[in-house]
A and B are shown apart, each in its own frame.
Chain A
Amino acid sequence: MTPVPSRERYDLAVVGGGVHGATVALFCARAGLRTILFERGSLCREASGVNAGTLTMQMTRVALIPYALQAHAMWASAPEWLGHDVGVVVCDGLSLAFTEGEAELLTYRAGKRREAGAPIDLVGPARALEIEPGLSERVLVAGHCKVDGFANAYLTGLAYRAALIEAGVTLCEQVPVAGAVPDGGGYELDTAAGTVRARRLVLAGGVWLEEMAAWLGLRLPIKVLINQLAVTERIAPVMRTVVGIASGLLSLKQYPHGTVVIGGGWQGRGDRVQGGVELVPDSLIGNMRLACHAIPALRRSRLARAWAGLEAETRDALPAAGPIPGFPDAWICGSVHSGYTSGPFIAKRLADRILERGEPDPLFPIDRLLAPEAGAAPSAPVAEAPLS
């Protein structure tokens, strides 16, 4: 049952129960802060629970690679620091090029990511087929990364829930927060469970960070991506790696229980108020054709389910993670492109900042993202991006 929040001031209130909010709350609570976490629905049931679960460097933005590498290591060792399994499989990953244009794109992008620290090699078709025997023979060149893999994203909420409770976090699921304002000693939150006070505040609302920032009078434009995903029924093994494509518009892997998840950020319809209301059939077919072009045996399976997940994207498609200018002891954490992969590490570093531990990490301060005045149009957001 949802606990009744205390009338005494908490050390930290976190609003938003995805990977970011939950990780910040977890590490702060373990360090001794009396922490309360609010989630308007169930923990990790939005982007953190309905994404494709891919943990890949080859779809991660170059600026995020150092974070993603560290986060990958965290996911791979989740039972150790989180205390619970999220079904992480570490395996090889391939990013494919089928045309000369894609080969050029792939070569350039792999180079940039390698410079940023991702261990990506370019391999020819024969080697690619050795790495992934299920692969189509039409591949011209492939990026090969050994730091790849995937998690069962739907288990994220279950795992974090247990960890947060063990860490002593006052976990308020199904408790929406309507506002937060400074009140002298910290912040006062207007919640469905009554007024709650905390010395420190973390807003970790993913696509809803725009609304949350507005509580403090800030304008932080956040674009919403409606990423479509599809899953097949359980089938005999057809692949053993994570497979993507040069453009980033494919994310494909088979889970140990046999289902194959097909993603890549093809867009459905919806918004942050209604959620992902509708899938676009032609986009779904395009995404599945791409998948079957890469792994031909997939054609023999049946589509079991398709859904849409909301992904947040800032104006420059880099995270919003850092202090809130003008509001002491208040931070924002979220809206990370490919956020599932990088989330735990970015959030852990933010927790370190809150706890004033370790080397200060500049993270991704939001000053650059704040619109100068209300009503001013934000600059064009960067386009399609896969939900990891």
Chain B
Amino acid sequence: MSSTETRADLIVVGAGPAGASAALAAHRAGLAVVLIDEAGRPGGQVWRAPAAGVAIPEALRTQDDRDGAELRAAVAASGLRFVGDARVWSVTGRFRVDAATEAGTEAFVAPRLVAATGAHERVVPFPGWTLPGVIGLAAATVLLKSEAMLPGRRTVVAGCGPLLAAVAAKIVAGGGTVSGLVDLAGPADWLAVAPRLARRPRLLRQGLGWMIRIGLARVPVHFRHAVVAAEGGEAVEQVVIAPVDAEGAPVAGTRHRIAADALAVGHGLLAGAEIPRLLRASLRFEAEAGGWIPVLDTAGRTSIAGLYAAGDGAGIAGAAGALLSGRLAGLAAARDAGALAEGAFAAARDRILAERHAVEAFAGAVRRLMRPRRGLVDAIAPETVVCRCEDVTRAEIDAAVMAGAREVNQLKHFTRCGMGPCQGRFCGDTAAELVARHVGSREAAGVWTARPPLRPVPLDTLLGDFDYADIPVPKPAPL
């Protein structure tokens, strides 16, 4: 009853800029490549394709959409095998990837694997963050890009980093109202990173374009402010904001209440390193790069032979960085498979590393703007829910630490924090920060042990049709 098994030279999980370029590079070098993604078409989050049947109005189209279309065309023309709408639920060693699709389950086996699973967003909890109408900044971009849909009629856009302006500008362009843009950073923070942002003139122009659009729409901008509560009955009705210090801690000053029916909020990005974690590759903690990331050599090799990591899942670096790290990992896989001579590989590697160096200053500036702010976490009120799958509050996390939980997996056992369907993707960073406050460091607080499935998967899809006689029940236990 084994699933259908497809063999390849290389499996790439994730078809964003990193994964798609890894797959293309390896395929061009002669490897048989399978590229797998949750979405129906390549593009990932930044270059996300519109949903089937959704026409994105010209006014909403951006350079990202054009880059995404180009990537999709390149994958389609290449002849490599793309498996879309596939939920990867198991990844095991040397390497077998099991994916659930509408058609059932399929297993892919290859001696090499590139993990390019991107990032997910960090939302530091505040009272009301679980109300309907509150969504992540990245979730808002998905709605806008993929569905051409506004988060609400009057949306507050809050948090940090360039996504703020991107989301606000897209809402305005789509005919919505942004009732407030609430930025943890102040003008001085933006000025401090401006020279590094200027290293990528096209992206800087794009950002300025967003700002102009926001300015023309007379969106009220609140620098050095944070959302301290979302309030409402059935759904969000108003958003409370307060001035904060550089670390995001609320300070004395006027609290504003902004009427809104949606709040798009995000406090930076977390590297999605689930596959390296699942396969027990060496990890290291780097707060600005998105938390726990795999230890890599210059070409993207992890500590596990044959396992590579690229893109934001290997450390937040944005689409340009992802494209380059993906290409490099794909070439390294081809090199390690013997399809590419060392000389050709080394030359290509050096060119890519030089290009990556050029985009690194910009990426570093963006990381700086999206960095985690200690004060935000410290300000979480005791009764605020941190783990929304299991309704675990900050007070319960603190109490578990007082009861002896020294690291996050013990915390999980004491409180069920991180035991819900998201497996700690939403609460993990905050919970670990809270534990770290008591045990000294994030390294000491540890990291959730990764468990399959990578995303919840319907049993119906996994199990398919079967006869009882086909279940290979092992021999009975001793009496």
Where the two chains meet, the residues of A that have a C-beta atom closer than 8 Å to any C-beta of B are 42, 45, 49, 59, 61-62, 98-99, 105, 109, 112, 138, 154-155, 157-158, 161-162, 165, 173-174, 232-234, 245-249, 265-267, 269, 277-282, 284-286, 288-290, 292-293, 298-307, 317, 337, 382-386
Contact = CB atoms under 8 A, between A and B. Distances in A.
Contact of A266 (B90, B453, B474): B474
Contact of A286 (B451, B459, B471, B475): B471
A281 B98 contact: yes
Contact of B419 (A302, A305, A382): A305
Contact of A248 (B107, B416, B466, B477): B477
B468 A303 contact: no
A158 to B, nearest CB: 5
A204 to B, nearest CB: 19
B280 A277 contact: yes
A165 B403 CA distance: 10
Given A232-B459, A384-B477, A173 B471 contact: no
B206 interface: no
Nearest to A301: B459
B466 A289 contact: yes
A157 B413 contact: yes
A285 B477 contact: no
B55 interface: no
B403 A233 contact: no
Given A155-B413, A285-B462, A249 B472 contact: no
B420 A233 contact: yes
Nearest to B92: A278
A75 B348 CA distance: 64
Given A45-B409, A249-B473, A279-B452, A293 B459 contact: no
Nearest to A44: B413
Given A45-B409, A289-B463, A383 B96 contact: no
B202 to A, nearest CB: 42
8 contacts: A45-B413, A109-B479, A157-B410, A289-B466, A290-B473, A298-B459, A300-B460, A306-B451
Contacts of A282: 1-3, 472
Nearest to B98: A281
A368 B309 CA distance: 51
Contact of B93 (A266, A278, A284, A384): A278
A59 B2 CA distance: 28
Nearest to A384: B474
Contact of A383 (B98, B451, B463, B474): B474
B412 interface: yes
A248 B473 CA distance: 10
Nearest to A174: B406
B338 interface: no
Interface residues of B, number: 50
B463 A384 contact: no
A258 B105 CA distance: 26
Given A247-B476, A248-B476, A158 B466 contact: no
A289 B456 CA distance: 17
A61 B477 CA distance: 9
Contacts of B421: 233, 302, 304
Contacts of B175: none
Contacts of B238: none
A78 to B, nearest CB: 16
A247 B477 contact: yes
A284 B90 contact: yes
Contact of A289 (B409, B471, B477): B471
B407 interface: yes
B343 interface: no
B90 A303 contact: no
B306 to A, nearest CB: 15
A287 B90 CA distance: 15
Given A161-B403, A282-B1, A59 B477 contact: yes
Contacts of B406: 42, 173-174
Given A281-B96, A286-B1, 18 more contacts: A42-B409, A42-B413, A61-B479, A161-B404, A233-B456, A248-B476, A248-B477, A281-B90, A285-B3, A285-B462, A285-B463, A286-B472, A286-B473, A288-B459, A288-B462, A317-B478, A384-B474, A386-B477
Contacts of A303: 89, 453, 456-459, 462
Residue among A42, A249, A269, A304 with the most chain B CB within 10 A? A304
A300 B475 CA distance: 28
Contacts of A154: 412-413, 416, 419
A154 to B, nearest CB: 4
B285 interface: no
B456 A302 contact: yes
Contacts of B477: 59, 247-249, 265, 383-386
Given A45-B410, A288-B463, A290-B473, A61 B478 contact: yes
A141 to B, nearest CB: 15
B117 interface: no
A232 B456 CA distance: 9
Contact of A246 (B403, B459, B476): B476
Contacts of A281: 3, 89-90, 92, 96, 98, 107
A99 B92 CA distance: 34
A385 B449 CA distance: 25
Contact of B476 (A62, A165, A249, A280): A249
Contacts of A317: 478
Nearest to A165: B404
Nearest to A112: B479
Contacts of B474: 247, 249, 265-267, 383-384
B414 interface: yes
B124 to A, nearest CB: 24
B141 interface: no
Contacts of B463: 285, 288-289, 292, 299
A1 to B, nearest CB: 9
B413 to A, nearest CB: 4
B177 interface: no
B423 interface: yes
Contacts of B107: 281
A307 B460 contact: no
Contacts of A232: 459
A131 B474 CA distance: 27
Contacts of A383: 474-475, 477-478
Given A154-B413, A286-B471, A300-B460, A305 B423 contact: yes
Nearest to A318: B478
Interface-central residue, A158, A266, A277, by most chain B CB under 10 Å: A158
Contacts of B1: 282, 285-286
A61 B96 CA distance: 36
A105 B416 CA distance: 38
A278 B471 CA distance: 21
Given A158-B414, A249-B474, A292-B463, A304 B92 contact: no
B479 A62 contact: yes
B101 to A, nearest CB: 15
Interface in B124-175: none
Given A45-B409, A282-B1, A288-B459, A382 B472 contact: no
A280 B3 CA distance: 12
